[in-house]
Amino acid sequence: MSRRPTLHEVANLAGASLASTSRALNGMGASPEMIEKVRAAAEQLGYHPDAAGRSLRMGRTFQVGFAVADIGNPVYVDMMKAIHEVVGPQGYHVVVATTGNDVESTADVIRSLASGVVDGLVISPLRSDETLAAQMEQAPVPVVVVGRVPQNTTLDSVWADSAAGIGMAVDQLVGVGRRRLLFLNGPLGTTPASHRLQGFEDALARHDLTAAGMVVADDFTVEAGTRAVDGLLDDPAAEGPDAIVAANDLLAIGCIQALRRRNVRVPDDIAVTGMDDTEIAAVFSPSLTSVALGSRERGRAAAELLLRRIAGESGPAQRVHVAPRLVVRESSGGPA
């Protein structure tokens, strides 16, 4: 049987002390140059640290959790990649979990991951209340929330003003002459649906317009968007909008698919906007006007906050704001 290379051999090849080699492999307390040199030596020798032994020695799992409602949503995929880019070089792996759409299942995920599975947790709950916020505060590991949290909590958070982003989309549609705007929302009672509806209503009031209506999808997915708009088009009493503002890109794409099947032209007959500026928005046809909420920026900021808390940094709760940005494309009928 072949013998496994040892830490001493890695240290000798790297020309470093045993302690420096150990710190470099753990991604902690070593310079970038030392980390690169030690990891190159480890790769050359085929050395792999004993993860279980390292966890026992250091009292850490070297795993961070990322918990979201739908791991298939491209927004969360972008966040996950950004989190990995931050924590990976520090020796951490990312454990991904699905929270579901209700508070109880989200609380179950927090209890499960925080009981020795991870050293810290980034979570983006679809629904929240005071009980869930208290549970996140009292978790035995640091928790960073992607989304808004009550001002009186000690939770770190990273958030984007989606209400202001919806306002940007409305402003652009009104600017190109649309007046009968309808809002395609996700499930009511969720945090995104509430904030984005408020942004839509505020923007219409600013322009002295009345909404052409609201259609509520049962999820934030393409299929749910198609079903919701099909229901609207099947209603002969419904007044036809000249623009539809969707609460996210997936709903917007489902909306366009439903319109296409009825030979409704986008944007000639009805303009459509989305939110999140996912990769598919740029390649879809027509390309989708969307509000960028900085998915990668939010993931990166959350991971950096989490690592500082894991390392023992104290202090007041941090609130990191990522500004929304409107990306105008073909679907809203405006100049790109």
pTM: 0.82
| DSSP-based three-state secondary structure for 85 | helix
pLDDT of residue 122: 97
d(CA 84, CA 2): 33
pLDDT of residue 56: 46
Strand intervals (E) in 118-212: 120-124, 143-146, 156-160, 181-185
pLDDT of residue 59: 55
Please enumerate in sequence order all residues whose Cβ is within 8 A of that of 300, keeping only pairs 6 or more positions apart, or say none.
82, 83, 85, 86
pLDDT of residue 27: 63
d(CA 183, CA 213): 6
Q: Give per-10-residue mean pLDDT for the chain (336 aa).
A: 76 87 73 86 82 54 92 94 94 91 89 90 92 92 93 92 98 96 96 96 97 95 96 76 97 97 95 97 96 98 97 93 97 75
User: CA 145, 149, 155 angle in degrees (round to 5)?
Assistant: 60
CA 321 to the chain's CA centroid: 13
